[in-house]
Amino acid sequence: MSEIVVRLPDGSELSVAEDATVEDVAYEIGPGLGRDTVAGVVDGELVDKAAPVHDGAEIVIVTDQSDEYLRVLRHSAAHVFAQALQRLYPEAKLAIGPPTDEGFYYDVANVDLDAEDLEEIEAEMEEIIEEDLPIERELRPREEALETYEDNRYKREILEDEAAGEDPVSFYTQGDFEDLCKGPHVESTGDIGAVKLLNISSAFWRGDEDEDTLTRIYGTAFESESDLEEYLTLREEAQERDHRKLGQELDLFSIPDVTGPGLPLYHPNGKKILDELGDYARSLNLDAGYDPVETPHLFRTELWKKSGHYDNYVDDMFLMDVNDEEYGLKPMNCPGHATIFDQKSWSYRDLPVRYFEDGKVYRKEQRGELSGLSRVWSFTIDDGHLFCRPEQIEQEVNQVMEAIYEVLDTFDLDAHVALATRPEKSVGGDEIWEQAESQLRSVLENQGIDYDLEPGDGAFYGPKIDFAFEDALGRKWDGPTVQLDFNMPERFELSYTGEDNEDHRPVMIHRALYGSYERFFMVLIEHFDGKFPFWLAPEQVRVLPISDDQLGYAHRVKNELGDFRVSVEDRSWTLGRKIREAQEDRVPYMIVVGGDEEEAGTISVRDRKEREDQDVEIETFRAHLEDEYAEKRIEPDFLDE
């Protein structure tokens, strides 16, 4: 039998039989690993251990010690939920039930459920786990699968779309339950240590508002009860930090029904923070040699057809007819920047050319996908595009990544890095994509950066390096990105005159330091629990007069600190209440002034950690604030000295 060669995580190669599966590869590595194999990752995709491998495939073996194992376990927990549901409600029709980063969900129809029903279903799930039912994979003829789901339009559509052309198709069974599924799954229901159903909501079939409304049940699963308890504790803390809750309490933003879904309004407090973020990004851009540009919100769709966005984004665009011409709100800023570049002739000596813009863009997300500031219709990207010669790529990408790491350090955020490769829906030839992916991979490896591979997650015009922020609770959020694009310069016929006096195509690099202001603002609200660093805080100092007799002195103190965002608490409250109010508003510093302070011309300084120092010279405090602001320190530290 002929052989193929697969690549292992350490870079080594292994020869295996042409018809080998993931499990076969594991046994070739070692019998112990073969016995422990639960699933595999083939070219970045999580698959069943029975999945075939191909020549040149990159293989990762998944055991119960792997990072991917929890996702496999949660997928099996989704099946346990579906089995429990159908035991209690035989009339229920199953749609889809995938694992997620935090657990799983299952969409169901033909059953009336509410939150009170979850406890009974969860109890039945625990019974199924106790039964320790083997989870077994079966391959069945396509026609038999279609007959099985004769009365379930959702599973039939999955067979006709996602599983189009597959014959046979895979099912997983556990006891009296079966489900159409590609897997992978754990060996037995008993491998699931702990489950919890979290909440219930509605969802449109396939996310289409014109389709059936289904019931969606969210749950989670872990290997042990202690892991589940730890998760639930963090979840409770996350709910307290929820940016929608804090946004209302701190008067940062709102998304009222009257504005339309996903269209946030920023209140004065929120706008102050956004302005600080904008000023910081602008300083980084100017220091890196970017020139500011501005593009309109609306373009003729001729531009979007030229760039490729129309074919790839038309379903997510807001389109309108104006004087018998079709226009669209911009889903991205890059075509506008490419058009600016194209208005001028360039020499190789001029490159790189770098543009930046805080550009508002619009995406018509489904209403069910909108969530606070994390997913909106209108958002602002701290966008940058640079045009360079091919030999300048590594230097420019390195410069962008240095700026991204500076942002991460400034906000005390960790990040996970991933290389996202060509998606199924894309423009450009194979050679261009292979070249672009190879160059980004080279940058990451030359810098010694650990990264994950995200097959198929690139932009439609090029691969990208993605950074996911990790917040104080260990959650990951999409953030900065740097994208290599050989396609848009080709589509716009961009050129520069080379040293040989011939025309050449520049390479276009897309980058964002925050990702979008909206999502980054959301991350910061939750990461800091609303306790923003002094330089970002919408109200930096609040002066608290002990009595109305000191109101005049309080305002004089405010004026002495006039370069900062300072307010005076002039309500006739007790000092204790004034302090509590400032603490709840998460103001970094409070200045207490009474008769003694006024007489001495000094102040008493408190911070939100409830530390206090008396007899402070106003000039001393102001000098400290100037340093703390300039250095963008994370915590108020005047009282550390």
Distance CA 420, CA 417 (A): 10
Give residues with Cβ within 8 angstroms of 294, minimum separation 6: 357, 359
* CB count in 10 Å sphere of residue 115: 12
Answer yes or no: is 510 a known binding residue: yes
Q: For residue 84, give the amino acid letter.
A: A
Answer yes or no: is 385 a known binding residue: yes
Contact 121, 85 (CB under 8 A): yes
Give residues with Cβ within 8 angstroms of 526, minimum separation 6: 238, 241, 242, 243, 246, 471, 472, 473, 475
DSSP label at residue 208:
-
Residue 607 tokens, joined? 């911070």
Contact 595, 541 (CB under 8 A): no
Which among 368, 360, 367, 410 is positioned nearest to 518, based on CA atoms?
A: 360
Answer yes or no: is 337 a known binding residue: no
The 3-state DSSP class for residue 485 equals strand
Region of residue 289 (left: phi > 0; alpha: psi -120 to 50; beta: else): left
Helices (H) and strands (E) in the chain, counts: 20, 32
* CB count in 10 Å sphere of residue 592: 21
Which among 36, 119, 128 is positioned nearest to 78, based on CA atoms?
A: 128
Crossing angle (nearest 10°) for helices 517-527 and 225-241 = 110
Contact 216, 82 (CB under 8 A): no
* CB count in 10 Å sphere of residue 9: 10
Distance CA 227, CA 246 (A): 27
The 3-state DSSP class for residue 360 equals strand
Distance CA 276, CA 521 (A): 11
Mode of pairing for the β-strands spanning 452-454 and 464-470:
unpaired
- DSSP line for 177-191: EEEE------SBGGG
**Long-range contacts (CB closer than 8 Å, 24 or more residues apart) made by 140-147:** 140/168, 140/169, 140/170, 140/171, 141/167, 141/168, 142/166, 142/167, 142/168, 142/169, 145/169, 145/171, 145/180
Residues flagged as binding site for Zn(2+)? 334, 385, 510
Residues flagged as binding site? 334, 385, 510
